[in-house]
Amino acid sequence: LDAHLHPTPVTVSIQHAANPLQMQQQQLMSDVAAAAADVNGLPMSASNLVNEQAVLRQAGRDAISAFLDGHNCYSVLRASGKVVVFDTRIPIQLAFYALVEHDMQAAPLWDPTLCQFVGLLKVTDFLDILRHCKTTNSNVASLTTRSIADIFQDASIREAVGTNFGFWSADSSTTLKQACKLLHEKKMDFLPIVMPEDMRVLACITYTNVLEHLVTHFRENRRLFDDSIYDLRIGTYHDNLVTVGPTQTLAQALELMRLHNLGALPVVDAETQKIIGVYSRSDITFLTRATDAEDAVANLDLQLQDILQQQRTDVTTPDALHTCSTTHTLQAIFEYFAQLRFNRLYIVNEQDRLVGVVSAHDLVAYFLS
């Protein structure tokens, strides 16, 4: 419980980050020119073309990597915002409805006995707890009185939720590259950002926040991102895709997401193989409309086609369905994200059949590889 990350502060002068990056870009351009030129003055060979493509792809990765190294976590925080923190002694159901009321996806957990943060409660955790109650025929009504600490002391619930307790965080001076690596290594969806002086939590950032900052502030004159995301294999494709049908139940979809560690599932028509919607774990519409905990558990038997018709439009809504083709370039995806701020983009072929999915996580991970 007392595991806590204190990343080594990295002081970066963002104003002066352009000079070394310009030097790196000039060197990369020289490499591209060298790769494209034939020393004998003969026409460019296939191997030259392949080499040039590889150099350009690496140049793109290096440029983004340098950008992430030159900006810190403080730079992605909004000018104003709020943070909700839960005392581990409050009832779990009360905490869940507080998240919904404040339009928050996650909140740090404070243990008053240890006088420190001990974890992060996500709105999706309550969903998993309800699913566990349904599977084990547990007393759902007890969630109104059982505290957060009591719930997560239950080993079976911890396993069902998949929560690894320990408050992993980064301070405000940590570079975005370090923050993304921490999100990836710890398999986290949210990373709390704290002030190093007094460990106050400023916000919880995600891959989407990082990508939003990237597309807003990154500037590059060279055409480094003209390959399609399909050719680059950024994302998940074909046989590796996990999908659900519209008549499958919410409980079945949640179990699939747990097994494959997914945050959302495309809903695909079995006959046409076309995507008709998206169900995300963050969609808690069926919970907010339930009259009590027992009613919420009963709603787990709803079919996904019914759930999709009830989707809300606030922060708890799953990702809206956005699609692109297999020919969309990485540059086009960046521009698309700048307009829509999607978490996931679904890739379809010429027949509008689903062939892949790319997430904000996938895009950031590509530049860290």
pLDDT in tens, 190-249: 999 998 888 889 999 999 999 999 989 998 877 889 999 999 999 999 999 999 999 999
pLDDT band with cut points at 50, 70 and 90 for residue 1: very low
Query: Residues for the chain: how many in total?
Result: 369
**CA nearest neighbour of 28 among 57, 67, 48:** 57
DSSP conformational letter for 90:
S
CATH number of 225-368, picked from 3.90.180.10, 3.40.630.30, 3.10.580.10, 3.40.50.300: 3.10.580.10
DSSP lists the bridge partners of residue 103 as: none
Contact criterion met (CB below 8 Å) for 124 and 139: no
pLDDT, tens digit, 9 for 90 and up, residues 104-121: 889 999 999 999 999 999
For the segment 254-269, the average pLDDT, to the nearest whole number, is 91
pLDDT band with cut points at 50, 70 and 90 for residue 5: very low
Q: CA angle, 210 as apex, 207 and 211 as ends, to 5°? A: 85
Give the end-to-end CA distance of the chain in Å, rounded to a whole number: 31
> Which pLDDT does position 43 carry in this prediction?
52
Percent of the chain surpassing pLDDT 70: 84
CA distance 54 to 302: 49
pLDDT, tens digit, 9 for 90 and up, residues 44-101: 566 776 788 888 899 999 999 999 999 999 999 988 888 999 999 999 999 998 998 8
pLDDT band with cut points at 50, 70 and 90 for residue 342: confident
Contact criterion met (CB below 8 Å) for 359 and 208: no
pLDDT band with cut points at 50, 70 and 90 for residue 288: confident
pLDDT band with cut points at 50, 70 and 90 for residue 27: low
For the segment 5-19, the average pLDDT, to the nearest whole number, is 35
Q: Check: CATH 3.40.50.300 for 75-215?
A: no
In this predicted structure, the answer to whether residue 135 has a pLDDT above a threshold of 80 is: yes
pLDDT, tens digit, 9 for 90 and up, residues 29-45: 554 444 444 434 445 56
Which of 24-28, 223-227, 246-250, 291-295 comes out lowest in average pLDDT? 24-28
Domain ranges of the chain: 75-215, 225-368
Structure tokens, 218: 């990154």
Contact criterion met (CB below 8 Å) for 152 and 104: no
For the segment 288-307, the average pLDDT, to the nearest whole number, is 85
**CA nearest neighbour of 73 among 181, 231, 187:** 181
Give the largest Cα separation in the chain, rounded. Answer: 80
CA atoms within 13 A of residue 357's CA, in its CB half-sphere: 22
**Domains 75-215 and 225-368 alike in fold:** yes
Between the alpha carbon of residue 205 and those of residues 51, 161, 174, 208, 358, the distances in Å are 37, 21, 12, 8, 19
CA distance 307 to 251: 12
> Which pLDDT does position 168 carry in this prediction?
93
